[in-house]
Structure 1
Amino acid sequence: MTTAPTRPARVEPVRLRRDRLTWSLYGYFVVWGWFLYSFNPAVPLLGRELGISKAQAGLHGTALAVGAVLAALATPRLLPRFGRRTTLVAAGVLIALGTAVLVLGPGFAWTLSGVLVMALGANVAISAGQAGLVLHHRGTSSAAVTEANGVGSSVGLLGPLAVGACVAAGWGWRPAVAVTGLLAVATAVVVGFLPRRGVMAHPAEGAAPAAPAPAA
């Protein structure tokens, strides 16, 4: 007697569930995307204003790279000591400070230093935020990280338009780039009010399980 073949169990697709923490961490990707897309077309304008050569203006890109290297060294030390939430808030403050120095700096040394500080804060935020998304979403972490980068890039595409609009209005490039600092402050405030649990728990307190994220 033969038995009827059994149907394989239906596997439900795993969906990305976004919650308050997810959207808060996305904020830093928006900050970084806005800065990259708005500052790049502003570099030649900055060089002309300061009366420096193209090679000197290009050193702002080098400052971005140096900031990334410093962030790679600092982030693994900051997270175990201060926790993810405090690290992210501090990174937001650094981004705002660096942006302020960049747009208000009277000379080349000031703008270069501003970019360095800004890049340090931004790369710490992206590193801590990306790892936070991976730990929080687990099985759908790749979707969360991909979406975070997509959101940041999509919003960042408005940056060059903002620079062009500000220059056309006679305001120069600074107001468009300064939006980076405002976005960083807003994101830091939102992250600062996140509950200190799950991936946001301080290492000394222990990481309590986070509540499941509601479907979005």
Structure 2
Amino acid sequence: MRLPTEAPPTARIPRFTRAERWIHRTTALLMGVCVVTAAALYVPEFAQLVGRRALVVRLHEWAGLALPVPVLAGLASRAFRGDLGRLNRFGPHDRRWLRAALRRDRRRAERPAGKFNAGQKIYAAWIAGATLVMLGTGLLMWFTHLTPVQWRTSATFVHDWLALTIGIVLAGHIGMALGDPEARRGMRTGAVSREWAEREHPLWRD
């Protein structure tokens, strides 16, 4: 009697190191604290529910100050520096990916991507720039005695509206992650299936 053979396990390939995953988790945690405390400060319903405004303000300020720390500490990781270099390079295949995305063309051949696709590169660049602007404007609002009133007023305007924009962009980022279980698994465990990598990032060489 011939026994049925088991299907071979899906091949998995490494995508993120442990250091990179901790950088992502720590940054996400700090960003989450900033967003939640901002909502408690600016949305009246949340403010009444939470109370203790002075404590919320301090949490918001210190989480904002700490936000760049995981990335700066992560520069000690060669893998993280390598991925930063990949995120910072925009090639012809990325422009092709963007054109296909704007046309809502989901054909694999029309969306070539390396380890990171063009959308991920744009998001990373935008959120990094927005974080620096938020840090700068937040410091102007914090140390009120060191700057003119006009500077503080302008900083408050930019900080508030950029915070709203960041909230919207983060919601989109989370929505994209929820729609791709394998990408989430890669960030959680550090490895992804070879089939997913070949489908979503065909130019990536492990």
Q: Answer yes or no: same fold by TM over 0.5.
A: no
Q: Shorter-chain TM-score: what band?
A: 0.3 to 0.5
Task: Work out which structure has the larger RCO, using CA pairs closer than 8 Å and 6 or more positions apart in sequence.
Answer: 1
Structure-1-length-normalised TM-score: 0.37
